[in-house]
Amino acid sequence: MDVLVVGGGIAGLAMARALRRRDVPVTVAERGDSDTGGLAINLPGNAVTAFAALGLADGLQKLGRTTHRREYRSARDRLLFAVDEDAFWGPEARPRCVRRSDLLALLADGLDAPVRRPLTVTAVRPVPGGAEATFGDGARQTFGFAAGADGVHSVVRATAMPAGATGTQTALLSAASWRFMATNPGVDCWTVWSGRGGAFLLIPVDDDTVYGYASATGGGAVSADASWLQNTFGDYPPPVRRVLDGLTDLYHSPVEEVRTGTWASGNCVLIGDAAHATAPVWAQGAALAIEDGLVLADLLADGDWDGAGARYEQLRRERVTHVQAATDRFSRAAALPVWLRDRLLPRIGPRTYHATYDPLRHPFPTP
């Protein structure tokens, strides 16, 4: 019997690819009617390593741009600290910023698995020896296993997991964010400027274009009116102002997290953001999702599908909890008064970076 993967984004396609590499039959149900995605995504070193484990190392190297260095700056453009990411991650795991549409195309290229779209799954429930899915037209089908890769507002989490596993929460860092693509104003590395009102991040995605992310700090509100950007960052350094003056295509969304006590119920599991979405402080959404898929695929390839869910959760919890705790610590630090934060960051910033990413450089537990 097939594994049903609900969701055809990065998490779902990575899961399907990991399963097919192990000759496990899989069907992907995606409610959207196209496989294109906007904007871009920053991939830290452990995400790059996970793509290599999917057999996509060469393809990934052709996309986007390597992120050689990080710079954390004040709202007045004072360099607070920097990180040499080339030296930290090494040549085989250099971080990259990649257009999301290119990443989805890479994951789907040559995938020997049916992706059914548009196909809406309205409910999934564990049944003896499998999982029953209900579709938008009312049809039902039983699969041997189901993986919810359907994001923060997961249908699988809401319908397959025990009561109490269905909630989301607003991120400590910011209630919402703005994301965008823009003409590069002259930055050559991952650069963030933080001040009293919020943080403004730019990452080169190629020679001419940057991916941008702007949010409040300390859980502050972020208006859905684009004037919030000018009001908040209008007196930031010239690169920020040049981007603000040229913005046309903007995406506003809440910043929500998922903290739930269980990721498995019978032969139904959650992966990626459906299980453990966090604020994008450490850019771990795609990385953890692909790692989830690799671990779960190994377990299902072993043949004990009835025990795979509990074993998967046991293997993945510690690494995810580490990222969640690091996200919370950074979010609380970002809420400090600006004068104190700017004084502390040159000393604690490099330590925090290393404390967060050092464990993620090491291989994650596998079956």
pLDDT digits (tens, 9 = 90+) for 123-146: 999 999 999 999 999 999 999 999
pLDDT value of position 163: 77
Nearest to 12, CA basis, from 121, 158, 98, 140: 121
Q: CA dist 86 to 35, 67, 364, Å? A: 32, 8, 21
**Any alpha helices (H) in 77-175, and if so which ranges?**
85-89, 100-108, 155-160
- Ranges of residues in the chain with a pLDDT under 70 are 34-38, 164-166
pLDDT value of position 166: 67
Domains, the chain: 3-65+100-170+256-335 (3.50.50.60)
CB 301 within 8 A of CB 23: yes
pLDDT digits (tens, 9 = 90+) for 290-329: 999 999 999 999 989 999 999 999 999 999 999 999 999 9
What is the model's pTM? 0.95
Residue 284: both structure tokens together: 């771990």
Residue 181 φ then ψ, to 5°: -110, 145
Q: How far apart are the first and last CA of the chain?
A: 22
pLDDT value of position 139: 96
